[in-house]
Amino acid sequence: MHTRKLGTLGLEVSAIGFGCMGISQSYGEPLPVEDGVKLIRDAYARGITLFDTAEVYGPYWNEEVVGEALEPIRDNVVIATKFGFDIDGSGVPDSRPSRIRQAVEGSLKRLRTDRIDLLYQHRIDRNTPIEDVAGTVKELIAEGKVLHFGMSEAGVANIRRANAVLPVTALQSEYSLMWREPEEQILPVLEELGVGFVPFSPLGKGWLTGTIDQSTTFLPKDFRNSVPRFDPENRAANQELVDTVRRIAAEKAITPAQLALAWMLAQNPWIAPIPGTTKLHRLEENIAAASVELSAGDLSEIELAVSGIEIKGDRYSPINQARIDR
């Protein structure tokens, strides 16, 4: 797989990374630890070098699985993790300097490493100035415990303020053919500042794979049960998008997921999506998207076909929607 550079400080990653969250939570039953370890190592063997986790996933034990899986190949991969919640207390965003340091020390132990390649603030903490957050990460970089600073679901103002203290290597936010809001303000600012973009849910939380419809029933522990976008009536309204993606993909003899990922990779050379999965065949399908080349004509066709389709339903439950920084 070819690689891409995020930010201005030389962080090089595989064009497609691996979002590890689903191994331990959110999409139904978690994988047994040994299966999660094997899947992560299978991803590396097939060319993936960027692995994304967070202390809150599980919480905590997703990092443990990632750490166990990557320990033998630690120097060949980029590990990204996140701080930013009061996990053992109220669960609200918490990026006080003391909490950041506590989170980093825990992550280093669970990840079985002496440094975190890319450390994200998971969500903006409105009670802690972003300058204090960036300043604390800057200190951790000076101490060798962190190599690069990232932000997640941050708005333009906070990205600019943080970057003035410490260069932001990457922003992680949702982006896909189903959710294109970042194109309005976020992507232009990232390009201006030289910040890389690591989209999560590049397949619309599974919608763009073409395997979900109005009649699909999610497992009890699947968080999509609480996401308005996946209410049955909204799924019915959003069917037009997936039908369109499926049609164009069939014309090109690729899968809908591959079309969605190839489209994203074609948007900018500093974008590296992190689709997640718990299945090896889906992992291989996603990786194959990096070899799909879309021409300018292909991109124009896709744009013409999908630009007028309105997506129904919020992408988060109300409590999580309120935590988005704009």
Backbone angles phi, psi at 19, to 5 degrees: -80, 115
Report whether 24 contacts 36 (CB < 8 A).
Answer: yes
Tokens 């993909």 locate to 249
Which of 35, 34, 1, 36 has the alpha carbon at shortest distance from 15? Answer: 1
Q: Which two tokens stand for residue 60?
A: 């905590």
CA pair distance 132, 138, nearest whole angstrom = 10
Rama region for 178: left / alpha / beta (φ>0; ψ in -120 to 50; rest): alpha
Helix (H) or strand (E) segment spanning residue 78? strand 78-83
Question: Is 57 designated active site?
Answer: yes
Catalytic annotation, pick one of 57, 60, 120, 316: 57
Report whether 246 contacts 210 (CB < 8 A).
Answer: yes
Report the DSSP beta bridge partners of residue 220.
none
Residues assigned a catalytic role: 57
